[in-house]
Structure 1
Amino acid sequence: MENHIIADPELTAADRAALLGMARATLAAHLAGRPLPPIPGVPGAWLKRGAFVTLYERGALRGCIGHIAADRELGSVVQEMAMAAARDDPRFAPVEPAELALIAVEISVLSEPVRLPMPVEPARIVVGRDGVIVRREQRIALLLPQVATEQGWGPEAFLAAACRKAGLLPDAWREPGTEVLAFQADVFGEPGEEEQGRRDG
């Protein structure tokens, strides 16, 4: 089931379908040790965007990896992150070939993150629309917009969770020296993708 948090005005339905199809074909090729499929020729694949790829198995999170910066073509980012989500998420063992038929793919295409002025006002974060990035020195964490909705968090709990993920104290978002950025995401998945599991990248 598709779940659009925001709609990227430059991504069409054909772009989304092509990116999902490529991600699925990339997983199949990667797990079988075959050459990867080509990047689709749709215009959206050549936009420079950050993106996360999330994998679900029977509705449960199976892997989620992303690239934040909008410095590479979206098709290449999605292809690389699809493989990384299957192989490199430290929370899970690598996906096995026998699991492929049970895997559903979801893609989150990120808008450009915007730094929130200090002191951060939680009311500036709209639950269900905004994702957050918390950064302090070498510590950084990102939570996708849909995480707050799934967990039933308000803005302050969302910020606290991002801080904990970064290895900071829950109230670190209030402190000078902690940078908080907000972004939105165009989220779309394969038919049958379950709205369960934490999509926290």
Structure 2
Amino acid sequence: MSLTEDQRQRLLALARQSISHGLQTGRPLTVELSDYPGELSAHRATFVTLERAGQLRGCIGMLEARRPLAEDVAENAFAAAFRDPRFPPLRDSELAGLDLHISVLAPAEPLPVASEADLLQQLRPGVDGLILQEGGRRATFLPAVWDDLPEPARFLNHLKQKAGLPAAYWSDSLRFFRYTTESFG
């Protein structure tokens, strides 16, 4: 699915409205799906990333599509602003300088690998989002993370650490899934 520029702008406005609503009420904006055309009410998974002065200020999302796109954006924008455990809740004074980015995820596909070297060969820098699973641990990096970690080995090592594993960790029980995103903001 590819969104039009108008649809993208509408979702970005919705994300900002949900954050503003959250500052006033402590709750995400309730989305009236009848106000949104079919493409924006189809079930899709999203991440909403917030930045201030080029620095991460919050990022929350879903890896699986569980609700309509417009609703997912409103909920994740609110969560990125107020529930990301890495940051204090957003303050009113921060809203004006806030940059919003939305990533709409394509469904994740299993990425069977025989070894770490095999995985590194299969990764597509700048294209793939990657999910790592090991037992009850799970972590993901959106494709945008390649901007900061362009080398596949560093990308993978940082993802392992995000999952609470040592950078050099490898096990035959590790599972990987890749996905692409349509990102804008």
Q: Give the alignment's TM-score, normalised by structure 2.
A: 0.90
Q: Which residue of 1 aligns with 2:31?
A: 38
Aligned to 1:175: 171
Q: Report whether the alignment pairs 1:19 with 2:11.
A: yes
Match of 2:64, SS state, is coil
Q: Counterparts of 1:38-187 in structure 2 under 5 Å? A: 38-39=31-32, 40-119=35-114, 120-151=118-149, 153-172=150-169, 174-187=170-183
Paired with 1:69 and 1:145, the residues of 2 have a C-alpha distance of 16
CA distance in 2, matches of 1:64, 1:139: 19
Gaps of 5+ in 1: 1-7, 190-201
- Whole-Å separation in 1 of the counterparts to 2:155 and 2:51: 22
Deviation at 1:113, TM superposition (A): 0.8
* Cα RMSD, aligned residues only: 1.7
Change (3 A) 1:37 1:70: closer
| Structure 2 gaps, min length 5 | none
RCO higher in 1 or 2 (8 Å CA, sep ≥ 6)? 1
d(CA) in 2 for partners of 1:182 and 1:68?
A: 11
Q: Which amino acid aligns with 1:19?
A: L
Shift of 1:34: 7.8
Question: Runs in 1 of length 4+ with deviation above 6 angstroms?
Answer: none
CA distance in 2, matches of 1:13, 1:107: 13
TM-score (norm 1): 0.83
Match of 1:195 in 2: none
